[in-house]
Amino acid sequence: MSQERRYSFEFFPTKTEAGHEKLLNVAHQLAAFKPDFFSCTYGAGGSTRDRTLNTVLQLEREVNIPAAPHLSCVGDTKAELRELLAQYKDAGVKRIVALRGDLPSGMGMASGELRHASDLVSFIREETGAHFHIEVAAYPEMHPQARNFEDDIKHFVHKVKAGADSAITQYFFSADCYFYFLERVQKQGVDIPIVPGIMPITNYSKLARFSDACGAEIPRWIRKQLEAYSDDTASIQAFGEQVVTEMSERLLQGGAPGLHFYTLNQAEPSLAIWNNLKLPR
């Protein structure tokens, strides 16, 4: 496992021109801190395919930080995936975040020629060899659709063996769950870097809804404190910044190979944590 730490920021493609301009402004702000790369999400069933592509190409071209598109296989044919990979390769993109992807609303089961993230990883390797550094997702608190922890660990190991170079975790608020997950997968022979995903806390109600949907646990003591602040935004943000900074510090002290910030297209919350940690950039 590489000992060099890496830091990255994640964006989502926007629907409006104003939102896109804001995203680029935020990217320029974050670029000053010299992250290793930016990533850009991919909507359920490929619903943001063109917006993700355009955002990634613009980040590469105008912000001059390597950009990593999310790529999912749900709802996409091999031909569509092959075309996207060719476009990214021709544009000089070197990193892909390979995911199964979320199911579009109303779709009861995965569709498309590739059904699992491990299938997508294998497909990318078959099509492009070693051109792309392939990231996969990791779920320290278990994927919300997994039958049990053992199955989830098995699926993660399968993705790694299919050709993944490193992994980014779902966000969490307990460092213990990350270290326990790391211990379990390392016993299964996994030695790739697994970078913790960091979610700044700025709005409790949105965080609670999102966490319930994606299976990320908000510890009871954090929930209760955030609930007690009610609509006091300043107190929520100050408390959230402290909690996430202290957890991030513990992760790095415990050997985490870097941090991946879920920015929600905002600069300040992630940079507050970055500056608190005095990251050496």
Q: How far apart are alpha carbons 226 and 249 in whole angstroms?
A: 21
Q: Which of 192, 198, 179, 257 is nearest to 5 (CA)?
A: 257
Per-residue pLDDT tens listing for the chain (281 residues): 335 899 999 999 998 999 999 999 999 999 999 999 999 998 654 456 788 899 999 999 999 999 999 999 887 889 999 999 999 999 999 999 999 876 655 544 455 688 889 999 999 999 999 999 999 999 999 988 888 999 999 999 999 999 999 999 999 999 999 999 999 999 999 999 999 999 999 999 999 999 988 889 999 999 999 999 998 999 999 999 999 999 999 999 999 999 999 999 999 999 999 999 999 76
Q: Single out the catalytic residue among 4, 10, 227, 249.
A: 10
Reading the block at residue 126, the tokens are 């078959």
Residue 17: active-site member: no
Q: In b/e form, how buried is each residue of 168-205, taking b as 16+ CB within 10 angstroms?
A: bbbbbbebebbbebbebbeeeebebbbbbbbbbbbbbe
Q: How far apart are alpha carbons 30 and 185 in whole angstroms?
A: 32
The pLDDT of residue 103 is 61
3-class SS shares of the chain: helix, strand, coil, % to 5: 50, 15, 35
The pLDDT of residue 213 is 86
The pLDDT of residue 145 is 85
Q: In the chain, where does DSSP find H-type helix?
A: 17-31, 49-58, 78-90, 117-128, 149-161, 175-187, 204-214, 220-229, 233-253, 268-277
Domains, the chain, ordered by start: 6-277 (3.20.20.220)
Beta carbons of 169 and 191 less than 8 angstroms apart: no
